[in-house]
Amino acid sequence: MRTIADQAEALAARRVSAVELAEQALSRIDAAQPSINAFITVDRAGALHAAREADMARESGHAQPLTGIPIAHKDVLMTAGLRTTCASRMLETFVAPYDAHVVRRLRDAGTVLVGKTNMDEFAMGSSSENSYFGAVHNPWNPRCVAGGSSGGSAAAVAAGLVAACTGTDTGGSIRQPAALSGICGLKPTYGLCSRYGLIAFASSLDTPGPLAHDAHGCALMLNAMAGHDARDSTSLVRPPTDYTRDLMASASARPLDGLRIGLPAQYFGDGVDADVARAVDAALAELRKLGASTVDITLPAVRYSVPVYYVIAPAEASSNLSRFDGVRYGHRAARYTDLDDMYRKTRAEGFGPEVKRRILVGTYVLSHGYYDAYYLKAQQVRRLIADDFVRAYASCDVIAGPTTPTAAFACGAKTGDPVQMYLNDIFTVAANLTGMPAISIPCGFGADGLPVGLQLQGNHFDEARLLNVAHRFQQVTDWHRRSPARSAAVSEVSVP
């Protein structure tokens, strides 16, 4: 019972109770924690209490689609009464006084929260190695990274500890770990899911979203997470959407007839590993069999996405993280001479190296004399990137390509070279700069038995289409059903 649908069916048929599901999840977490380190906090008592309430709701006929499903939240989302650390010494003992909006919506949907997942500190990283609580390891090969910054959430789902988790995506932090861990991860349109209660990294980029085994699971999670929130000025007012509706329609032999898939030249050039390219090409062939056509497109400004992102994101981080000063909450240095000394020592002790690096870069690009040359110019190029995508969607419906240029790499392989680490996001950051939705789905494996992800991008509010394309692909393939325990049997070639 790995997927949300499997667990929901078992609950509805009374083959298992929510309490039993929660106990099984907690046992799996305990067993897996020493090897993959996916969790920072496990809430055993809270999970069992919520599971008992879910069982009572089901007995009284008030069950919802997610009632009784064990999930976990990335430890950047506030959870009332539960530690929320952002994987940082700065917030090591901080207990959130309220729920993030998406946390509250998932509670109200009947989910059972089992704990908070490990991540890159303050969501800054591409490997989940920048955690005060230790690195996350990939369930397929614990010597490799799980991706980041939502690496703990991706690893927890991939290892079968829970059926779904929340993550946040600032430059690919849901999709990239989903690809490296062999699961599905959806970054919604910016503003579709409220950022209220999400501890901010880069406010114009941060986007909460779901990770699950399959597109159906992501759709069920998004149904609960999406919705307007007056407390978030960037939250969008949209009519309610059932993201599972198209998935439930019966599929014909060619369910994607008429779908135009754009293939940007910039996503298929040098720098993509041969294993990744082969898996993506095989996935595109399957989509053509389902009726889709492919068209060549160009996104000329997308080559600037990484440098633009690494100006804008650190600039916003420099501003957002100024609140962590030791005065109101979080870590405070034990010894200091005056207020300025307390600020300096608190921040020096509380933040890790990558967070300090990005604060310094962000402060520099916002400083007098450099704002116009760097930050303003980056915002102008951001607009050019968005314009390229708008033009592209005049000739295609979705855009496809690799999620990452490589499969998972060895732990420690890139920690000494920040630029090489940043280039892991080369195909994902554009969706954050434009605010458009994108999903990563498993599409194969490399020669070393590590998963490969296919990224599908869509125009604003096109989540339903992306989920439908992903679901139709998953109806004729089994990559999303593979588990790390079966990795030795994985082959490079496609689909049953």
Alpha carbons 171 and 427: distance in angstroms, whole number: 9
Give the list of residues 6+ apart from residue 127 with CB closer than 8 angstroms, or none.
Answer: 120, 135, 145, 146, 147, 148, 151, 409, 411, 414, 415, 421, 424
Of 105, 111, 95, 112, residue with least CA distance to 40: 95
Helices marked H in 109-214 — which ranges?
Answer: 151-158, 175-181
Helix (H) or strand (E) segment spanning residue 442: strand 438-445
User: What residue has token string 């997927």?
Assistant: 3
Under a CB-based contact definition with an 8 Å cutoff, are residues 324 and 350 in contact?
yes
Under a CB-based contact definition with an 8 Å cutoff, are residues 259 and 398 in contact?
yes
Give the list of residues 6+ apart from residue 393 with CB closer than 8 angstroms, or none.
Answer: 262, 399, 459
The residues annotated as belonging to the active site are 74, 149, 173
Give the list of residues 6+ apart from residue 397 with CB closer than 8 angstroms, or none.
Answer: 259, 260, 261, 262, 458, 465
How many Cβ atoms sit within 10 Å of the Cβ of residue 353?
11
Core vs surface per residue 397-431: b (16+ CB within 10 A) or e: bbbbbbbbbbbbbebebbbeebeebbbbbbbbbbb
Backbone angles phi, psi at 396, to 5 degrees: -150, 165
Q: What is the DSSP letter of 301?
A: G
Under a CB-based contact definition with an 8 Å cutoff, are residues 325 and 346 in contact?
yes
Beta strands per DSSP E along 285-359: 293-297
Under a CB-based contact definition with an 8 Å cutoff, are residues 217 and 4 in contact?
yes
Q: Is the dihedral of CA 409, 429, 350, 72 positive or negative?
A: negative
Q: Is the dihedral of CA 454, 458, 460, 463 positive or negative?
A: negative
Total residue length of the chain: 496
Backbone angles phi, psi at 379, to 5 degrees: -65, -35
Q: What is the DSSP letter of 173?
A: T
Give the list of residues 6+ apart from residue 270 with CB closer than 8 angstroms, or none.
Answer: none
Give the list of residues 6+ apart from residue 471 with CB closer than 8 angstroms, or none.
Answer: 214, 215, 216, 219, 246, 247
Q: What is the DSSP letter of 200?
A: P
